[in-house]
Amino acid sequence: EVQLVESGGGLVQPGGSLRLSCSASGFTFSSYGMHWVRQAPGKGLEYVSAISSDGISTHYVDSVKGRFTISRDNFKNTLYLQMSSLRDEDTAVYYCVKAHLRYFVLFDLWGQGTLVTVSS
């Protein structure tokens, strides 16, 4: 079955750190760009970060630049998001998303999401 399964979310204090993981199965993970998209409670979708299929090229939205690091292990079929210096406004469901083969920013497979709550 083609799927993405996130893990690692939870409650963390402001200024703390958390690492999200996303396990991919059912497709050739190393052939696809991957992304993280988040959704604050009751809000819309916000693009967070992207990584190329080979892991060489990474990109971040300005609000997380310098605090979040995206990475991948193509041998373990796993995508990561290391989050540090977390802020209240980072509270959201974080979705792991697979890029379309032809269009890097078109999202054709989403994980179920993992909730990150930043609160004291």
Partner 1 sequence: DIHMTQSPSTLSASVGDRVTITCRASQSVSSWLAWYQQKPGEAPKLLIYKASSLESGVPSRFSGSGSGTEFTLTISSLQPDDFATYYCQQYDNYWGTFGQGTKVEIK
Asked whether position 25 contacts partner 1 by CB under 8 A, the answer is no
Q: Which tokens in the block code for residue 93? A: 């469901």
Ramachandran assignment for 85, one of left (phi > 0), alpha (psi -120 to 50 degrees), beta (any other): left
Instruction: Tell me which of 5, 61, 101, 115 binds partner 1, using CB under 8 A.
Output: 61
Q: Which tokens in the block code for residue 109? A: 């497979």
Three-class secondary structure of residue 8 per DSSP:
coil
Instruction: Tell me which of 8, 9, 55, 113 binds partner 1, using CB under 8 A.
Output: 113
Instruction: Tell me which of 5, 45, 101, 115 binds partner 1, using CB under 8 A.
Output: 45
Cα(15)–Cα(62) distance, integer angstroms: 18
Shortest CB 57 distance to partner 1, Å: 10
Q: Which residues ranging from 67 to 106 are in contact with partner 1 (CB under 8 A)?
A: 95, 100, 103-106
Asked whether position 108 contacts partner 1 by CB under 8 A, the answer is yes
DSSP string, 62-76: GGGTTTEEEEEETTT
Asked whether position 44 contacts partner 1 by CB under 8 A, the answer is yes
Q: Which tokens in the block code for residue 77? A: 């079929």
What does the binding site for partner 1 look like in residue numbers (CB under 8 A)? 44-47, 50, 59, 61, 95, 100, 103-108, 110-113
